[in-house]
Structure 1
Amino acid sequence: MTRELPGTEIPTAAILLPTDEMCAAVDGFLAASPAARAWDVETAFDWDRAAADRLTEGQRSAVQFVTYIEDHLPGYFDVYQRYFPVDGRVDQDTFVHNRELYHFTVRWALEEDTHARALARYQQAAGMAERSTLRDELAVEGRKPFDLPYRHPVQFFAYALVQEKATQLYYQSLREVSGDPVLAAVLSRLARDEARHFSFMADVVGRYLRTQGDAVVEPIREVVAGFRMPLADTMRGYWRWALRIADVADYDHTAAYAHLVRIIDRAVDTRTEPLDELVRFLDRCRALT
């Protein structure tokens, strides 16, 4: 059974990041990510050398798991389309902001889709799965809805900040234990991309903190308090599988919270009491894991 998506509350210019600030963040990301540095699935790796028999059963399971997560890209992209639309549902000021953000989201979506294709290609090349079978298996989860029903725009970026950093750290950890050099090369590429995506989200969250101050503290706290990685609420057996892959390579999404604290400290000259409480809350979350 699939759940219905709640009504979409489109953020308006009144609470969005000033457009010039969003434009600067997008320009910075694109300048650090020129097309000339892009990689493609077809030529970046020596697929003929991929061999799943070099992996442990746990490592193969981890590859299968992250393929599902990356392949849900249409759902993730749809969130930005619904909450930051570039059409007549919004006034002109909001449209201008969203159009600037769209320059990032389409590049981000292309890179994330490349991740999904690379992981699927690895499974096929390494002998883990037949293409048609894998395609049908991914469709089972891919058809399920994905949503981030937040009330403040900063929350979408705070969520992605934690998710992208946690994913980067896991890929790096899985790469270190991988028995197949081809898989290690794939994971290196993915981790570098996730690091750049994290940097963009961190830049945007920092700009929200500088321009809106304490007004965004509680929205960010709400993200941390209810954080779940993508598909946690829809994939059957998610938590059992997630615990298994955490045994294969170090994984703990709360490791990303230390990076959020550094973003806070870079964004403000002096912490206010609400910011101090947010940092204490982040520290408590990390201590519980």
Structure 2
Amino acid sequence: MPVRSIGLPADDLDRSVTAFMAATPVTRRWDVERDFDWGAADANRLTDGQRSAVRFITFIEDHLPGYFALYSSRFPLDADTDVETFLLNREIYHFTVRWAQEEDSHARALFRYQVESGISAAEPLRRELAEEGRKQFSLPHEHPAALFAYTLVQEKATQIYYQNLKAVVGDPVLAEVLNRLSRDEARHFTFMADMVENYLHHYGDSVVEPIREAIAQFRMPLADTLRGYWRWALRIADTAHYDHTEAYEHLVRVVRRAVDAPSDRVDELDRFVRACRALPADSR
């Protein structure tokens, strides 16, 4: 059943959205067409594993319509939405459309890099992305705090991966693309962290369990739909010395920062995350 309301005061949402917008003034935004030396892009400077990583993350970023559709369905803005719920959902929509625009730029930049560097021709790449893009994206989380906690982890994990990949790639053009993407993901993480803190300030320990469920059921986007996902994910993780569970601890830090005093539930969440991180990679 879709979440019908964010369940936070409109003033709290406005502060979070305004802080996010203020972090990206027009003068600091980047442009796919003008901010990269596409003519110098050269995939011959990459290892096979790094080429594979570029292809993988392009699929992930290009699924943006599915991610946006999920948020639109969970926080609807239609005639069936009561006025009080609408005004809260409208606040979060301000963030969602900016977030979607930035994520779509990520997809376009990675597509452009593949074409300009020689990894793929444009037409077959478009068709590959369309085959995956038409698949529905879904998440099991009904509580909005769990949804934002999931996205917090996903954004931080993506930021970490882009930073690690940037550190090893041999093409300066790709390194700059990854640098821009990483900075955006860091800001998206900060917004999601702000939202999780809002829930903890407003509802206290009662939202720790939904947050725990977000970790317990966590899978990176497209894990259940992209063909060969797990084998591919393990290969690209090795390429950039990456473990997505590093992001779990960032969530725990957000929770501990938001609560006045550690509780049994918060301590249990901390222990649970550490147990998850201790599992072998192929069992997570």
Using structure 2 for the length normalisation, give the TM-score.
0.96
In structure 2, the residue corresponding to 1:108 is in which secondary structure? helix
In structure 2, the gaps of 5 or more residues are none
Mapped pair 1:140 → 2:131: yes
What residue is the counterpart of 1:126 in the other structure?
Answer: 117
What residue is the counterpart of 2:210 in the other structure?
Answer: 219
Whole-Å Cα distance in 2 between the matches of residues 214 and 90 of structure 1? Answer: 28
Q: CA deviation at 1:287?
A: 2.0
Whole-Å Cα distance in 1 between the matches of residues 80 and 153 of structure 2? Answer: 29
What residue is the counterpart of 2:2 in the other structure?
Answer: 9
In structure 1, the residue corresponding to 2:4 is in which secondary structure? coil
Contact 2:102 2:184 in 1 (8 A): yes
What residue is the counterpart of 2:256 in the other structure?
Answer: 265
What residue is the counterpart of 1:113 in the other structure?
Answer: 104
In structure 2, the residue corresponding to 1:22 is in which secondary structure? helix
What residue is the counterpart of 1:199 in the other structure?
Answer: 190
Contact 1:11 1:152 in 2 (8 A): no
Identity of aligned residues (%): 63
In structure 2, the residue corresponding to 1:150 is in which secondary structure? coil
In structure 1, the residue corresponding to 2:70 is in which secondary structure? helix
Mapped pair 1:57 → 2:48: yes
In structure 2, the residue corresponding to 1:253 is in which secondary structure? coil
List per-residue Cα deviations over 1:198-223 (Å, max 9, x = no partner): 00000100111111111111111111
Contact 2:256 2:266 in 1 (8 A): no
Whole-Å Cα distance in 1 between the matches of residues 196 and 147 of structure 2? Answer: 10
Mapped pair 1:84 → 2:69: no
Whole-Å Cα distance in 2 between the matches of residues 169 and 281 of structure 1? Answer: 21
Contact 2:3 2:143 in 1 (8 A): no
Q: CA deviation at 1:279?
A: 1.2
Q: CA deviation at 1:10?
A: 2.8
In structure 2, the residue corresponding to 1:256 is in which secondary structure? helix
List per-residue Cα deviations over 1:113-162 (Å, max 9, x = no partner): 00000000000000111111110010110010001131211111101000
Using structure 1 for the length normalisation, give the TM-score.
0.95
Equivalent of residue 182 in structure 1, options 173, 177, 199: 173
In structure 1, the gaps of 5 or more residues are 1-7
Deviates most, 103-112 or 273-282: 273-282
Contact 2:77 2:89 in 1 (8 A): yes
Give runs of ≥4 in structure 1 deviating > 4 Å: none
Whole-Å Cα distance in 2 between the matches of residues 110 and 288 of structure 1? Answer: 36
